[in-house]
Amino acid sequence: MKRTNLVAILVASWWVGGGTCAFAQLPFTDLQTVTPAFAKAGETIEVTITGTNTDDITGLRFNDARITAEPVRSAPDDFFPEGQVAKNRFTLSIPATVEPGTYEVRSLGYFGLSTARPFLVLPKDSPEIVESGDLSKRDSAMELPVETGVRGQIDGGKRDWFKFQAKKGERLLIEVWAERLDSKLDGQLVVTDTEGRELESQNDYFGRDPMADFTAPADGEYFVALSDIL
């Protein structure tokens, strides 16, 4: 039996955060989101952060010094020869030698280092596509090749549809990374055939992150829906 990984990496676009505060306690920076929260080794990407007391953030620090971040700047002009710094936006550089895995990232600013958030580094040769279009209906499902990850977001209470081809007896593992990247998404995966019959359903496997273990009963096209069950 052939076993194939069909990995969906989708992160909820809504978050619940907030720091704690005691009387007379100095302010601190609570880093709440890093978007996107993953990238491939050897890749350079732009990320945006959110949190509390982030007005004076000057940089990001990872627990692996090989991963570096520089503030995003506007084009230079007469008033700002080096360009203006874009608030809470950074360009990450991840060397190809960085091992796949989950790392910690913190912001650095006026109030010192922030709380940490996880950041996932994928293998440098990982196939990946970016979610696009209206995926709220099965008729507009996005084609998802096997052995491929999809990078995207899903709103709370919504459902996104994908489709894939499989051969009879082919085993596919469909996995979501959300809670493991600090998302509040409580995801559910449902696999159906072209007639809409439910063939597999999974909502909790790695904590709240689902993983569907699906074996195709016949050659053909199949659909998978990701939704938030909260």
pLDDT score at 22? 43
- Domains along the chain with CATH numbers: 3-11+126-228 (2.60.120.380), 23-122 (2.60.40.10)
Q: How many CB atoms lie within 10 A of CB 101?
A: 12
Q: Which token pair is 169?
A: 């007896």
Q: What is the pLDDT of residue 14?
A: 32
pLDDT digits (tens, 9 = 90+) for 78-108: 888 888 889 999 999 999 999 999 999 999 9
pLDDT for residue 52 is more than 60: yes
Strands 171-176 and 128-130: unpaired
Give 195's DSSP letter: T
Is pTM beyond 0.75? Reply is no
Residue 12's CB: how many other CB atoms inside 10 A? 23
Residue 28 backbone dihedrals phi, psi, to 5 degrees: -140, 165
Q: In the predicted model, what is the mean pLDDT of residues 210-227?
A: 94
**Which of 18-27, 49-58, 144-153 is predicted least confidently?**
18-27
Rounded mean pLDDT, 58-66: 96
pLDDT greater than 50 at residue 72: yes
Confidence band, pLDDT 50/70/90 cuts, at residue 157: confident
